[in-house]
Amino acid sequence: MTTENIVRLAYLLASVLFIVGLKGLTHPRTAVRGNRLSALGMLIAVVAVLFQYEILSATEILIGVGIGTVLGIILATTVAMTSMPELVAAFNGFGGGASVLVAIVSVLPFIELGATEFPLLFTIPVAASVVIGAVTLSGSFIAFAKLKELMSGNPIRVPGGPFLNLLLLLASVGLSAWLCIEPNATALWALTGVATLLGIFLVVPIGGADMPVVVALLNSYSGLAASATGFVIGNSVLIISGSLVGASGLILTSIMCKAMNRSLPNVLFGVMGEGGETASADEVYAGKVKSTSPDEVAMMMDGVSRVVIVPGYGLAVAQAQHAIRDMANLLGERDVTVEYAIHPVAGRMPGHMNVLLAEADVPYDQLKEMDEINPTMETADLALVIGANDVVNPLARTDPNSPIAGMPVIDVDKARTVVVVKRSLSPGYAGIPNPLFAADNALMMFGDGKKAILELVSALKES
Ligand code: TAP
């Protein structure tokens, strides 16, 4: 078999592994295997590319793979679960940057040698790689800076606002046309600069709290840029993998928007919390909030047969997943049915709760999606809400003026008793009070999520 055929076969194998890997990611039980298969596909693709283009020797490839593996292990084991979105943002940025660089080096040397005739089938993907890649690069690093709080996470109003962006978009289209029809270095560099500015000004006005949606969208862009780069260098595996990333990123963005009952334009150009008048915290809570203690909750748990645990962002902040699993195991030993109700946007990134609970070895069959658990909420003896707020706020159902009106929520208020574990009555991401905390059947167990649940575990062991 010729080297070319081996490389083609490797590309085919890598593409199949990407697709099978993605399929694995559709269920928590198969997600880890799916991830490994995709990573193997990527390794095969990278090695095949290096052989195909004879860029590096086998030893150099192995050294590169070794360095990448060490860096990957360090990053994966040291990054805090709460910092995942910014890590993904940085990865997207690097992906976009790589597309821009590959597109530039594919065309610039020829321009400098005086070439003027390029087929449109080459220059169009070059322009697309540069525009989408540069927007992804700068937009992702602004998202990274906002999430890491290196710059204000609040929406920043840019003078000129949408008009400036429209101007930059039109300039990108004009420069792209110039580059495609009459390839030259000035158009190439100007396009890179304008698209970089466009990425910055598109993301700067968006609030830090909406960044996960933006990161998912930029992830999709990084895939589209990679796919365009695949056309530039005639590499099929890059076209396939880029399209897969582009499509899955777009699907994810749409799922996140739907789960928040917001449209993508509202996320990109609106501000979360811009609803009508809603009641103030004083009006909602005054004199109606009842607090409880771990000992009391342990006593309550004595007579229950079904407990639904609702994890939220605070569970991730407190890192309470192991404590909660221990508590669930204790209840399981007493023949109590324990289920976890997972809201699609609980936490700050897609699948946040699934990842945390999987890390603590919570059995997958105990994880229930919102749509599955809601119709059964009335038969739950106890709903234990840990560090969740917006995703259990009944205002979404009852107040059409609320900024979260229409957002599907987990109906914990319908359970016989609700215990909410959080440190105070502070609002969640949407910044609005939650009448659940003042409901007749609700009790607040104030404290850090992990500490409170560890105390509950001790109380359960003693009871
Ligand atoms: P939030 O509504 O943000 O509420 C989290 C609660 O956790 C806070 O009220 C906070 O109250 C509590 N908390 C923080 N640290 C804690 C600790 N150490 N121990 C105990 N509690 C702690 O979270 P949620 O219910 O998970 O909802 C997620 C929100 O994020 C939604 O509004 C969603 O639209 C938005 N969002 C999510 C995503 C994705 S993809 N997941 C993307 C964009 C936006 P205290 O300060 O009183 O403790």
Write the pLDDT tens digit of every residue in 179-193: 999 999 999 999 999
What torsion do the CA atoms of 60, 43, 35, 351 make, to the nearest 10 degrees? 70
Asked if residue 403 has its Cβ within 6 Å of ligand 1, the reply is no
Asked if residue 436 has its Cβ within 6 Å of ligand 1, the reply is no
At 306 the pLDDT is 97
Q: How far is CA 358 from CA 32, 97, 254, 310, 367, in A?
A: 10, 33, 24, 15, 10
Q: How far is the CA of 336 from the centre of ligand 1 (A)?
A: 27
Mean pLDDT of the chain: 90
Average the pLDDT over each of 7-21, 44-58, 108-122 and give the range with the smallest value. 44-58
- How far apart are the C-alpha atoms of 330 and 302, rounded to whole Å? 11
Instruction: Establish whether 326 is a catalytic residue.
Output: no
Per-residue pLDDT at 426 exceeds 80: yes
Asked if residue 390 has its Cβ within 6 Å of ligand 1, the reply is yes
Query: Could you tell me which of 368, 372, 422 has the C-alpha nearest to residue 393?
Result: 422
Atom of ligand 1 nearest to the CA of 216: 40
At 69 the pLDDT is 87
Range with the largest mean pLDDT of 4-13, 342-351, 379-388 = 379-388
- How far apart are the C-alpha atoms of 313 and 387, rounded to whole Å? 6
Q: How far is the CA of 332 from the centre of ligand 1 (A)?
A: 27
323-345: buried (b, 16+ CB within 10 Å) or exposed (e) per residue? bbbbbbebbeeeebebbbbbbbb
Q: How far is the CA of 347 from the centre of ligand 1 (A)?
A: 6
Residue in 422, 424, 426 to alter for ligand 1 test, most ligand atoms within 8 A of Cβ: 422
> Long-range contacts: 152-157, Cβ < 8 Å, 24+?
152/208, 153/207, 153/208, 153/209, 153/211, 154/207, 154/208, 155/205, 155/206, 155/207, 155/271, 156/204, 156/205, 157/205
- How far apart are the C-alpha atoms of 71 and 66, rounded to whole Å? 9
Per-residue pLDDT at 208 exceeds 80: no
At 271 the pLDDT is 57
Residue in 317, 324, 354, 389 to alter for ligand 1 test, most ligand atoms within 8 A of Cβ: 389
Q: How far is CA 234 from CA 102, 147, 277, in A?
A: 12, 36, 56
Averaged pLDDT, 442-448: 97
Q: Name the residue with higher pLDDT: 264 or 28.
A: 264
Q: How far is the CA of 259 from the centre of ligand 1 (A)?
A: 15
Per-residue pLDDT at 275 exceeds 60: no
Residue in 313, 354, 411, 426 to alter for ligand 1 test, most ligand atoms within 8 A of Cβ: 313
Asked if residue 215 has its Cβ within 6 Å of ligand 1, the reply is no
Per-residue pLDDT at 273 exceeds 60: no
At 272 the pLDDT is 53
At 303 the pLDDT is 87
Per-residue pLDDT at 274 exceeds 60: no
Asked if residue 345 has its Cβ within 6 Å of ligand 1, the reply is yes
pLDDT-derived band at 322 (thresholds 50, 70, 90) equals very high
Per-residue pLDDT at 48 exceeds 80: yes
Quote the crossing angle between the two packed helices 84-112 and 185-203, to the nearest 10°: 170
pLDDT-derived band at 156 (thresholds 50, 70, 90) equals confident
pLDDT-derived band at 175 (thresholds 50, 70, 90) equals very high
At 115 the pLDDT is 86
Asked if residue 402 has its Cβ within 6 Å of ligand 1, the reply is no
| Structure token digits, residue 428 | 């969640």
Q: How far is the CA of 290 from the centre of ligand 1 (A)?
A: 21
Asked if residue 313 has its Cβ within 6 Å of ligand 1, the reply is yes
The pLDDT tens digits for 368-383 are 999 999 999 999 999 9
Averaged pLDDT, 313-339: 95
Q: Which residue has the least CA distance to atom 33 on ligand 1?
A: 345
Contact at 8 Å (CB) between 198 and 268? no
The pLDDT tens digits for 214-238 are 889 999 999 999 999 999 999 999 9
At 270 the pLDDT is 63
> Choosing from 210, 295, 390, 440, which is the catalytic residue?
390
At 201 the pLDDT is 93
Asked if residue 391 has its Cβ within 6 Å of ligand 1, the reply is yes
At 134 the pLDDT is 98
At 77 the pLDDT is 84
Q: How far is the CA of 359 from the centre of ligand 1 (A)?
A: 19
Q: Which residue has the least CA distance to atom 16 on ligand 1?
A: 314
At 358 the pLDDT is 86
At 28 the pLDDT is 76
Residue in 218, 355, 423, 445 to alter for ligand 1 test, most ligand atoms within 8 A of Cβ: 423
456 CB contacts (<8 Å, ≥6 apart)?
Answer: 294, 297, 298, 327, 445
Q: Which residue has the least CA distance to atom 47 on ligand 1?
A: 424
Contact at 8 Å (CB) between 378 and 414? yes
Atom of ligand 1 nearest to the CA of 426: 47
Averaged pLDDT, 312-340: 95
Q: Name the residue with higher pLDDT: 210 or 39.
A: 39
Asked if residue 430 has its Cβ within 6 Å of ligand 1, the reply is yes
Contact at 8 Å (CB) between 314 and 422? yes
Contact at 8 Å (CB) between 453 and 327? yes
Per-residue pLDDT at 203 exceeds 80: yes
- Counting residues of the chain whose pLDDT is more than 70, the rounded percentage is 97
Q: How far is CA 97 from CA 207, 221, 301, 371, in A?
A: 24, 12, 54, 39
Q: Which residue has the least CA distance to atom 9 on ligand 1?
A: 428
Q: How far is the CA of 393 from the centre of ligand 1 (A)?
A: 11
Averaged pLDDT, 417-440: 94
At 161 the pLDDT is 78
Averaged pLDDT, 353-360: 87
At 278 the pLDDT is 64
Q: How far is the CA of 422 from the centre of ligand 1 (A)?
A: 10
